[in-house]
Structure 1
Amino acid sequence: MNPIEIFLERPRVFILTIIFILISGFFALNSVPRQENPELAQRWSNVQVIYPGASPERIETQVLEPLEAKLREVFEVRRLVSSASDGFSLTLVELKEDVDPSLIEDAWSEVQDKIDQAKVSLPRNVDTELIRSSGPPATLIYAIKWMEDGPPPKILMTRVADDLRLELAYGGGTDKAFLFGGTEEEVLIEIDNARISSMGLSFQEIANRVQALDNKRPIGVFTDKSSEILVKSKDNFRTIQEIEDLPIETFDGTEIVRLGDIAGVKKTPRIPSEEIIYVDGQPAILIQVHAAFQQRIDLYVNNLEKIAEAYDKNLPDELSVVKLYDESFYLNQKFDNLSWSIFFATNIVILLSFFLLGLRSALIVGVTIPLTICLVLLGCNLLGLPLHQTSMTGIIIALGLLIDNAIIMVEDYKFRRRSGHAPRSAALISFKHLWVPLAAATATTAFAFLPIAAGKGPSSEFVGGMAITVILSVCGSLFLALFITPVFLNLLEKIPLFKNQKLATEGYSNEDLARHYRNFLKWSFDKPRRGILLALILPTIGFLAFPLLKQDFFPELDRNMFRVIVELPPNSSIDATEKEILRLREEMYEKAGFEIKSDVWFIGRNLPRVLYNVIGGDSPLGNNNLADAFFISEDYSKMMKGLPALARSMVETNPDLRIIIDKFDSGPPVFAAVEYRILGDDPKVLQVLGEQLELIMNNAPDVFLTRADLSQISAKFEIDFNNSQLLLSGVNTQVLLNEISIATQGINVGTMLDGNKEIPLRIRGMKYQDLNDSIQYISIPGDNSLNYSSSFGELKLTSKPTSLARFEGSKSNTVQGWIWPDKLASGTERFIKTSIDKFKDSLPPGYQLELSGEAESRSESQSQIFSSAAIFFILIIIALISALNSFREATIILSVAILCSGLAFVGLVMGNANFGFIGLVGAVGLVGLSINDSIVVLSHIKEANENNDLTKDGLIDVVMRSTRHIITTSVTTVGGFLPLLVSSIFFKPLAWAMAGGVFGATIIALFYIPSLYLIKEKIT
């Protein structure tokens, strides 16, 4: 039995169905996870290598080559990008885009296994670690701040921050919790080189004796018949005094020289610090908390807020816990905006329906929208799809689409009633004639969005939730239109207001307008080529305008935050960087043409994962000359207007620094706007080619900064040892190297328990004002005399590239260019294209140039969509042929889809929107959406032709009948897009592409389809 007949005969079943949909939607709304951004598969990680004292060249040959060879054995690994500097390297490991998210963890487990296997062939003192750099972004950031004057007690602040971090980590629902800016405590033993020289001792001998005196270890177990007791020595490293009293040497069998006699011993923060954090100009310690996915972030934050507030109340007045960043604030803001957009769009759609179709249709629309939203929420709950900015936007996009089926059903029902059918008969006949075309139209829309939902890679994953909610919406609306709407119409017939048959012609009507429109249709169809040419005008304009469209990758992030990166010369210390940052910060506040609320500086490292697409800040190692910051402004619009001027001013007044001031972008991570990669064998040749490429990029007017991997030069001290002198003096080279290492860098010789924290003991030589003296005048005991380190070699100051880079196993030199915040990378790429082509042709044999950066990411993202679209395009063809039962008619509808891609470009031009990945998503979605009206018009024409031989006048009558609901569906669709057209930044290109295309699709449906049908059927 037809479900409509069940609902008509058993109204209670119908009412229970409606109640079930509403209750399911209500409970799903409260149980579906909420987060700001969609979850991206964790396809990026870094392999960190620490090899103390090794040069980049040594790290490449001894570590990176065998390590990369092992990692290449993992089938899922797509790309390996390595960089090495003195004593340190990072290898970015990226997995293939077609790796299913459910298999990501297995892939990373295999990567870890390969790293463990590679360790066997690596030098013994090499430390390797796999750092997972993806996952949830920061949810909360707290700062521990010192509220009094004077230098802050960083050791105390670090311990307080670490305690709070642990409490927040165990608060429930936390994925990770990190601490930034914390001070590493140590007991520093500074050896007086002059004193140990007079005693004939070396640094290594003192280190060995301190280690030998450390009693912290078990001795054994005492066991008898009834008990078992552990035997151990008493800890003798408990206080600074005990360490100072350690005996080091004896004279004449009676005099003891203790450690405190030859060294200063103190508990101190480790100097130099690896990283320093400043919040609003004051030193601070940060706790960054990452909430796990698949939960309601607003409830999670409320829970952690209570923990942080309770902790803050127990702190002394001098310390305070300050919240710097709260993702739930932006989440709630987005949900409020999206909720308002849904409410606004719903009312627009209902009012337009009332004006064009009358009260009956407006009531149906008013019922259809909340029921469909409830079905979508139920579907999200069953699929485990969280509500976030893209999935919620999908519901807004669908608001105009989901009522199309209902409007068509209502208009057809009214037509059957006007034709004399009873209410029950009208409902069944409308179902019989419409279920195939409506199902076909819904299928084509769903298939058009399926490439976006099923696409691989980060770009498709980011917008996939939007496509899923659109598909759920149109499928839900099809169910409601076929089985719920006819029953509602029958129930309305029982209300006295709707029994009046005059209301069957509800909605706006104008006889003069109808007469002129009929005459225009008659003129158009008198010679069908006229109708075809009219329909082709807008698509042709769109295709011609496409080359003129500005291209981007993803729109900017609509958040009141911007980023500042400052890089000093390579040999700058972290203290020098700190001093420069404090000066720059004051200058920025003075020059900013907008109000800044707060700023957070990470000195000595890149930004950690503050936002979902910020990566690269996993380690502070090797970044003493770098500072990275995010600023929070009071107003987003004012910030975007004032940011370019601020960037230009700061760059112009600080020519000796590399300063990048830019907005945050959305979408997958991109490190530089314009980027090229040179591959080859000789680092010197790569360096020269990189300098040439930098000159080309600097000629572009929008480029203000360029950087090549091999153009960074740093100074280094190198000791040229005299092997003959070493042999004559009886000094072992390894001993000499150890002495210099301990004197300059130090060595850990044990630990001291301070409360509940183990503090390392480090022996180091005293620092001299002159670095040259610190290295040259280290005493080295010989066989019969005492020598200085300078006696065995010459100390030279050299300059070499700071780092080397590798890409996919080959040496590389990546050249990056940054453009001003208000410019697009595509403009720069077009400007330098001719010069780049000439440069590429002039490369030496064996060297190649590859495009990277935003252009590469843009190309990859678009290819992901097209690769998926091919399969679903075939499914659209199958659906059309099955619904229309005609190859020729299916071809006509497919030609509509092609024409409507040009209409998307018209929409982008109308909205002054850029064509990027989001615009492409809109164009792909429009292909399925735009043919719906054409399918319905074609089905009406075919129905009329089946009943009687169709004439031109009869065809005009069919088009006149279809016009009202075709125009209504188009207007309501655009009305649903209106909130996105007006207020959305991220989805503006998509909204304009689809909204502009819908109007053009209406013209195609009303003129192009009937004209081709006249030609096909040879109707005269």
Structure 2
Amino acid sequence: IIDKEKLARSGMIPTQIMLGLQNAGKTVNAGNYENGDDRLQLRVNNELEDEKDIADLHIRFTGGKLVRLGDIATVERSYKEPQTKGFFVNGKPSLGICITLSDDAIVPDVGKEVDKKLAEVMERVPVGFETDKIFFQADQVTNAVNGFLINLLESVLIVIVVLMFSYGFRGGMIIGTSLVLAIFVSFPILLMAGSTLQRISLGAFIVAMGMLVDNAIVVMDGILVDRKRGLGPKSYLYNIVNNTALPMLGATVIAVLTFLPTYISKSTAGEYCRDLFLVLCISLLASWVMAMVQVPSCVVAWMPLRSKKKQADNGEVKDTKLQAFVRKLIGKLIDFRYATIGVMVVLLLLCGFGFTKVKQVFFPDFDYGQFVVEYYLPDQTSPDRVREDLLNITNTLLKNPKIDRVTAAMGSSPTRYSFVRPMNSGGNHYGEMIIDCKDFKTMKAVIKEIRPQLRAAYPDAYIRFRNYNFSITTTHTVEVAFQGPDPEVLRDLSHQAEAIMRSSKYADVYSVQNNWQPKGKSIVTNYIQTDALRSGLNRENVANALLAATDGMPVGIISDQDKKVIVQMQVRNEDGSKIQNISTIPVWSTLNLHVTPDDFKRLLMGITTVEELESRLTNSIPLSTVNSDIHLEWEEDYIFRRNGQRTIEAECDPNPDLEDATPKKVAADIKKAIEAIELPQGYSMSWEGEGSSSGNAAGSIIGLFPLAFLFILVIMLLLFNSWKQVLIVVFCLPFILVGIVPALLLIGMPFTFIAILGAMGLVGMMIKNGIVLIDEINRLCKEEKLPAYDAVVNATVSRTSPVIMASLTTILGMAPLVPDPMYGSMAVCIMSGLAMGTLIILVFLPILYSTIFKVKKPKAA
């Protein structure tokens, strides 16, 4: 640190100090000394190693005078100022360790090894140091997997208990065994297919629960019915398998194909949900094999065989009360088929309109008890202010009993530790806090509580709250981008869009901004080249002088064991404070070669003395000598470009105080006004944010659904050999909305990307049930020569129990997932859609079949 007054009086220039430091700290090559067979490296010692060596360094000034650097400057070691990076846990300075896993790593096992190693390290660490797990993926994975295993176990037990009530203890155990075996057989095959045990794969088993038992229920129900009809073992064990094997295989493959788009999609969402297809494909095919082989085998082993009775009840089985009701209902509705179809169409239209009122969220939040607070101050705010605010906020938050821990980071996110949150490199004006609560529910309450408090306490800061969410890929959820050449025109377009956003009741007014931020201030020195050249100076000399007087000018490097330490030169006031009057900052030349021939003539003629010439060569001059004025200018700090074009984005988030406010609703509310903004020639507008990213992700999957649907149509056509029968099943599919929409509106659940996958699964279940029912109608008409009306009614009655039981087991099996933040909306969709789907298959499909094939009720004799 050099005193500017001493610098002006001493006749020295900082360049001489810089050269002295560089020569003393320079790495030099002294060659090698050869002695016989030995070749020894030569090394010159006395390198600079610490601040004491720098203080003892002698500098040769003009005139040959040697001066000890410590006598003319203060040499000290300190941290770089201001502090721009920092990491704090509960207000205490900390160091973060980030561990990246290899592709084949088993996360919980790695977590155990890390815990073990950390315990060993802490035994050698001095007292007073502590460790904390800020984000430990092993714990997250273990908790998620354990929770889902419990949900899976609950679902399996619920399904088995329900089946026991319907098919008796032995029948329920046989179907339950089929379910358990299908699940266990799937695990080794999934391992070979590259799948892993995680949320999606475990959730897929719960999604498939009803379909996994459906095949076994059909076979078991057929065996029990044939036993009641008095058929012998060879008949009742063989008939149902023979009659349903092919249609059930086709229906099973169709159920799998509905999830094919998630497997072949190249999007991030498709990659995340890839295991959904693998689990369903392997487990459903395994369930078909179990239904064909295991169920009949267990019937032989666990249920006493019955010999064939002689025409027991003429081979007929009396309807149960439920079957009698269905038979009577179908008969009545066929008489009013057009009215029934009309009512269903009206309900579908109403639910189609109601779907526009359902809350739309692309991806639900993960159920972590942790959230992130992003803290932005104006761009040119001192990092010291950021540090002070983060520590003050930490102290305030820790007084809240609902908050367990506050981790703060300056300048950027602490490290890239999670895939499901954005990692910000916000700059010196940015800080963030990772806040831990007891659980997800508590976290939601804490955000609602502290959001208004922090925003009110720090009005000049921009504070955002983020949950962990797979869909977060943009800075804001609603973004409108303008592209064009002129920054001023772009700012005007953005301001128009921002005003529109503020006018929307669904938008959070606080969050409205643009990604360029306000213009920044700069202090500009008006450099005069002619005056500078007369003084032997240039622009670089002026910039170096300003740097030394402000942040500090790097002038060398010293080696401190295995570290390199930067040596900075700072020019300060006599008391060590920074120079406030910029015009008085001393400026010096780094070359001192600007001496003219006239100067030497005057020296030889005695007009100029040696001392005067030496003073001219060595003395610094104030900045005002080579500068006409110093003024403030406003300029763009950030100009973002996309594809080489200047791009500004107007941004906002949904209003957190409105339950029905979503990014999609905000965008819909402002779309007309935004798109009405008049764009000059050469400018363009596009929608970004969550709507764009979710649209791309969902579009990449939904866009592939026609391919899967084509395969489905081909399989149905091969099974039925009739386009009419194929279209009957297809026409039934949209009516699942009649079940889904009212349930979502009533419960207040959003329709998420996961719910879309659930709806796709519903389509597979509906098609599967429809195929088996129509195939039974065809069999009764062809093999048993029943009239079309009797075939429709009898087939529907025979399918009543299997369809209801498969639906009931699926609905109850999904119940444990309803509270889950990620799978809750999907569970509600499947439960409500399947409940309505059961009515559609058992009531609406027979009516539609009777209408299209003009089936008439026979007249009473």
TM-score by length of 1: 0.76
Counterpart pick for 2:436 among 627, 632, 651: 632
Aligned to 1:233: 44
Verify the 8 A CA contact 1:218 1:230 in the aligned structure 2: no
Aligned to 1:124: none
Q: Relative to structure 1, is the Cα distance of residues 609 and 901 closer, same or farther in structure 2, using a 3 angstrom cutoff?
A: farther
- Report 1:352-371 matches (<5 A): 352-371=162-181
2:544 aligned with 1:710, yes or no?
A: no
2:854 aligned with 1:1009, yes or no?
A: no
Q: Relative to structure 1, is the Cα distance of residues 251 and 625 closer, same or farther in structure 2, using a 3 angstrom cutoff?
A: closer
Deviation at 1:743, TM superposition (A): 4.3
Determine helix, strand or coil for the equivalent of 2:266.
coil
Q: Relative to structure 1, is the Cα distance of residues 950 and 832 closer, same or farther in structure 2, using a 3 angstrom cutoff?
A: same
Aligned to 1:51: none
Q: 1:217 & 1:582 partners in 2: Cα distance?
A: 46
Q: 1:584 & 1:700 partners in 2: Cα distance?
A: 31
Counterpart pick for 1:568 among 377, 395, 402: 377
- Report 1:566-715 matches (<5 A): 566-589=375-398, 595-606=402-413, 608-617=415-424, 619=425, 623-701=427-505, 702-703=507-508, 704-715=510-521
- Report 1:311-710 matches (<5 A): 311-493=121-303, 495=304, 511-529=320-338, 532-533=341-342, 536=345, 539-589=348-398, 595-606=402-413, 608-617=415-424, 619=425, 623-701=427-505, 702-703=507-508, 704-710=510-516
Instruction: Return 744-753 or 468-477, whichever deviates more.
Output: 744-753
The residue type equivalent to 1:204 in the other structure is: T
Q: Relative to structure 1, is the Cα distance of residues 251 and 877 closer, same or farther in structure 2, using a 3 angstrom cutoff?
A: closer
Q: Relative to structure 1, is the Cα distance of residues 775 and 291 closer, same or farther in structure 2, using a 3 angstrom cutoff?
A: farther
Determine helix, strand or coil for the equivalent of 1:236.
coil
Q: 1:776 & 1:570 partners in 2: Cα distance?
A: 27
Verify the 8 A CA contact 1:553 1:916 in the aligned structure 2: yes
2:638 aligned with 1:803, yes or no?
A: yes
Q: 1:668 & 1:943 partners in 2: Cα distance?
A: 52
The residue type equivalent to 1:978 in the other structure is: A
Aligned to 1:725: 531
Counterpart pick for 1:300 among 98, 110, 119: 110
Deviation at 1:914, TM superposition (A): 1.1
The residue type equivalent to 2:357 in the other structure is: L
Determine helix, strand or coil for the equivalent of 1:669.
coil
Q: 1:457 & 1:636 partners in 2: Cα distance?
A: 28
The structure having more radius of gyration, on CA atoms, is 2
The residue type equivalent to 1:198 in the other structure is: R
Verify the 8 A CA contact 2:498 2:650 in the aligned structure 1: yes
Q: 1:220 & 1:992 partners in 2: Cα distance?
A: 78
Q: Relative to structure 1, is the Cα distance of residues 231 and 770 closer, same or farther in structure 2, using a 3 angstrom cutoff?
A: closer
Counterpart pick for 1:870 among 701, 706, 712: 706
Q: Deviations over 1:152-191 (max 9, x none)?
A: xxxxxxxxxxxxxxxxxxxxxxxxxxxxxxxxxxxxxx23
2:625 aligned with 1:791, yes or no?
A: yes
Bigger fraction of residues in strand? 1
Deviation at 1:903, TM superposition (A): 4.2
Verify the 8 A CA contact 2:482 2:494 in the aligned structure 1: yes
2:584 aligned with 1:773, yes or no?
A: no
Determine helix, strand or coil for the equivalent of 2:640.
strand
Q: Relative to structure 1, is the Cα distance of residues 763 and 541 closer, same or farther in structure 2, using a 3 angstrom cutoff?
A: same
Counterpart pick for 1:956 among 793, 797, 817: 793
Q: Deviations over 1:304-330 (max 9, x none)?
A: 111111111111113333333322222
More relative contact order, 1 or 2 (CA 8 Å, 6+ apart) = 2
Counterpart pick for 1:816 among 651, 657, 674: 651
Q: 1:350 & 1:775 partners in 2: Cα distance?
A: 86
Determine helix, strand or coil for the equivalent of 2:42.
strand
Verify the 8 A CA contact 1:191 1:763 in the aligned structure 2: yes
Counterpart pick for 2:92 among 282, 293, 299: 282
Q: Relative to structure 1, is the Cα distance of residues 215 and 678 closer, same or farther in structure 2, using a 3 angstrom cutoff?
A: closer
Q: Deviations over 1:921-955 (max 9, x none)?
A: 22222222211111111111111001213242443
The residue type equivalent to 1:791 in the other structure is: T
Q: Deviations over 1:682-737 (max 9, x none)?
A: 00111222222222212223412222133422221212111121222232333333
TM-score by length of 2: 0.89
Q: 1:568 & 1:206 partners in 2: Cα distance?
A: 38
Q: 1:775 & 1:228 partners in 2: Cα distance?
A: 58
Instruction: Return 358-367 or 532-541, whichever deviates more.
Output: 532-541
Deviation at 1:892, TM superposition (A): 1.6
Verify the 8 A CA contact 1:539 1:903 in the aligned structure 2: no
Determine helix, strand or coil for the equivalent of 2:74.
strand
Verify the 8 A CA contact 2:398 2:406 in the aligned structure 1: no
Structure 1: any 5+ residue segments left out of the alignment? 1-189
Verify the 8 A CA contact 1:535 1:1007 in the aligned structure 2: no
Q: 1:584 & 1:818 partners in 2: Cα distance?
A: 23
Q: 1:837 & 1:239 partners in 2: Cα distance?
A: 64
Counterpart pick for 1:762 among 559, 568, 578: 568
Instruction: Return 668-677 or 780-789, whichever deviates more.
Output: 780-789
Verify the 8 A CA contact 1:910 1:992 in the aligned structure 2: no
Verify the 8 A CA contact 1:740 1:775 in the aligned structure 2: no
Q: Relative to structure 1, is the Cα distance of residues 214 and 651 closer, same or farther in structure 2, using a 3 angstrom cutoff?
A: closer
Instruction: Return 957-966 or 694-703, whichever deviates more.
Output: 694-703
Deviation at 1:861, TM superposition (A): 1.9
Instruction: Return 471-480 or 422-431, whichever deviates more.
Output: 422-431
Verify the 8 A CA contact 2:542 2:587 in the aligned structure 1: no
Q: Relative to structure 1, is the Cα distance of residues 207 and 1011 closer, same or farther in structure 2, using a 3 angstrom cutoff?
A: same
Deviation at 1:530, TM superposition (A): 5.2
Q: Relative to structure 1, is the Cα distance of residues 710 and 754 closer, same or farther in structure 2, using a 3 angstrom cutoff?
A: closer
Q: 2:414 & 2:501 partners in 1: Cα distance?
A: 26
Verify the 8 A CA contact 1:907 1:995 in the aligned structure 2: no
The residue type equivalent to 2:455 in the other structure is: V
Q: Relative to structure 1, is the Cα distance of residues 655 and 898 closer, same or farther in structure 2, using a 3 angstrom cutoff?
A: same
Q: Relative to structure 1, is the Cα distance of residues 937 and 573 closer, same or farther in structure 2, using a 3 angstrom cutoff?
A: same
Q: How much identity, in percent, do the aligned residues show?
A: 21
Determine helix, strand or coil for the equivalent of 1:816.
strand
Q: 2:790 & 2:673 partners in 1: Cα distance?
A: 62
Structure 2: any 5+ residue segments left out of the alignment? 596-612, 857-861
2:724 aligned with 1:856, yes or no?
A: no
Q: Relative to structure 1, is the Cα distance of residues 732 and 903 closer, same or farther in structure 2, using a 3 angstrom cutoff?
A: same
Give the aligned CA root-mean-square deviation in angstroms: 2.7
Determine helix, strand or coil for the equivalent of 2:559.
strand
Q: 1:571 & 1:980 partners in 2: Cα distance?
A: 48
Determine helix, strand or coil for the equivalent of 2:482.
strand
The residue type equivalent to 1:490 in the other structure is: V
Q: Relative to structure 1, is the Cα distance of residues 614 and 664 closer, same or farther in structure 2, using a 3 angstrom cutoff?
A: closer
Q: Relative to structure 1, is the Cα distance of residues 764 and 510 closer, same or farther in structure 2, using a 3 angstrom cutoff?
A: farther
Aligned to 2:53: 242
Aligned to 1:967: 804
Determine helix, strand or coil for the equivalent of 1:205.
helix
Q: 2:622 & 2:282 partners in 1: Cα distance?
A: 79
Q: Relative to structure 1, is the Cα distance of residues 402 and 752 closer, same or farther in structure 2, using a 3 angstrom cutoff?
A: same
Q: 2:99 & 2:809 partners in 1: Cα distance?
A: 43
Determine helix, strand or coil for the equivalent of 2:373.
strand
Q: Relative to structure 1, is the Cα distance of residues 556 and 244 closer, same or farther in structure 2, using a 3 angstrom cutoff?
A: same
Q: Relative to structure 1, is the Cα distance of residues 624 and 726 closer, same or farther in structure 2, using a 3 angstrom cutoff?
A: same
2:796 aligned with 1:992, yes or no?
A: no
